Amino acid sequence: MPELQYLIFTVIILALIFDFINGFHDTANAIATSVSTRALYPNHAIMLAAGLNFLGAMVSTGVAKTIGGDIVSSPSIVDEKILIAALIGAIFWNLLTWKLGIPSSSSHALIGGLIGAVLISVGISGLNWNGIGKIILGLIASPAIAFLTGIIIMNIIFRVFENFSPHVLNDKFRKMQVISAAMIAFSNGSNDAQKSMGIITLALFSGGFISEFEVPTYVKVLCATAMAMGTATGGWNIIKTVGGKIFKLEPPSGFAADLNSSCVVFGATLLHLPVSTTHVVSGSIMGVGSAKRVNAVRWGTAQQMIKAWSITIPITAVIGASAFFLVEALF
């Protein structure tokens, strides 16, 4: 029992570290557009994002249940060593891509790490392939949907405000970006913080500390706090990529990207689907940029990001599997 408690404690600490890193890794999603268009000062934008990340994390637990219940065939087969290995894989990848300034997906990293750790420890039978398929479909479809709806929203703005002067238009939308930045920060918290909630709840359930797979309130508060604290530290490398290297944003396009992203992410939260806010925001920016002019989008940067997205799950699966052997040796 003392060893089990130690392992559970390790899972919780690593999950909160993952959440903290996820916070500063994904801060760019909530504030890159408003900072790049000078709608908000960077420090003000970060504090706004941190507060609304926390509030968003408290609204739902559907995504947490998907992470905890749809990747593995049964929660009872997952022990703490598997979860520790999965978290090591996800944390390593998040830190590496943050250092390189690549807007990769924390969701992909965690799912890949868990898949690899389960495969190497339990075998192929330990995975719920229908659930994994649903999750991956959501991860792939969400940026594509964001791209298409970004084009639509930007074209609507062009039509409605075509008679306004650029100066007046920029001034109005710069103020509106405060609202859209708050919306994307809230929706980001509603989806991303739940991934760690799912992992911690899975550990508590498999260890017999809770009798049913329901996220305890204290787990929600811990994960929401860790993400908000991470967000408050900022993630400037990724902010530069998302805010300026995909498409030169102006206040109307920044507003359109944030509004569109918040709707797509929160819609996924309501459907209990884990999505990558990084992918959704990037897809939105590509969409609003394409609505203005296709060659206005820096497709070389976009291509590099897509490559990073496509290799995240396989690489983190390998890292998670390798980390399992290390965990086995240590514990």
Three-state secondary structure of 306-322? HHHHHHHHHHHHHHHHH
pLDDT digit string (tens) for 18-36?
A: 999 888 776 666 777 787 7
> Residue 115: pLDDT band by 50, 70, 90 thresholds?
very high
Which residues have CB under 8 Å from 310's CB, separation 6+?
A: none
pTM (two decimals) = 0.86
Mean pLDDT in residue range 113-121: 94
Pairwise CA distance, residues 66 & 285, whole Å: 28
Q: Residue 15 pLDDT more than 80?
A: yes
CB 258 within 8 A of CB 33: yes
CB 50 within 8 A of CB 257: no
Q: Residue 286 pLDDT more than 60?
A: yes
Q: What pLDDT is attached to residue 305?
A: 67
Q: What pLDDT is attached to residue 239?
A: 59
Burial 232-249 (b: 16+ CB within 10 A, else e): bebbbbbbebbbbbbbeb
Amino acid code (one letter) for 236: W
Residue 324: both structure tokens together:
């399992």
From the centroid of its chain, how far is CA 251? 24
Which of 327 and 242 is assigned the larger pLDDT?
327
Which long-range contacts does 139-143 make (Cβ < 8 Å, 24+ apart)? 139/105, 139/107, 139/108, 139/111, 139/274, 139/275, 139/276, 139/279, 142/264, 142/265, 142/268, 142/273, 142/275, 142/276, 142/279, 142/280, 142/283, 143/276, 143/279, 143/280, 143/282, 143/283
The total of other beta-carbon atoms located within 10 Å of residue 289's CB is 26
Total number of domains constituting the chain: 1
pLDDT digit string (tens) for 228-254?
A: 888 777 655 555 555 455 667 788 988
CB 58 within 8 A of CB 276: no
Reduced to 3 states (helix: H, G, I; strand: E, B; else coil), residue 162 is coil
| Beta pairing partners, 127 | 72
Which of 98 and 317 is assigned the larger pLDDT?
317
Pairwise CA distance, residues 278 & 257, whole Å: 12
Residue 307: both structure tokens together:
């490559």
Q: What pLDDT is attached to residue 265?
A: 93
pLDDT digit string (tens) for 190-204?
A: 888 888 898 899 889
Q: Residue 2 pLDDT more than 70?
A: no
Q: Which domain holds residue 264?
A: 2-330
CB 28 within 8 A of CB 206: no
| 11-25, 89-103, 110-124, 150-164: range with lowest mean pLDDT | 89-103
Nearest to 252 by CA among 164, 131, 140, 148: 164
Q: Is 218 exposed, middle or buried (0-12, 13-18, 19+ CB in 10 A)?
A: exposed
| 93-107, 166-180, 253-267: range with lowest mean pLDDT | 93-107
Q: Residue 324 pLDDT more than 90?
A: yes
> Residue 323: pLDDT band by 50, 70, 90 thresholds?
very high
Half-sphere exposure of 199 (CA within 13 A, CB side): 35
Q: What pLDDT is attached to residue 214?
A: 86
Alpha helices in 37-128 (DSSP H): 42-57, 62-69, 80-100, 106-121
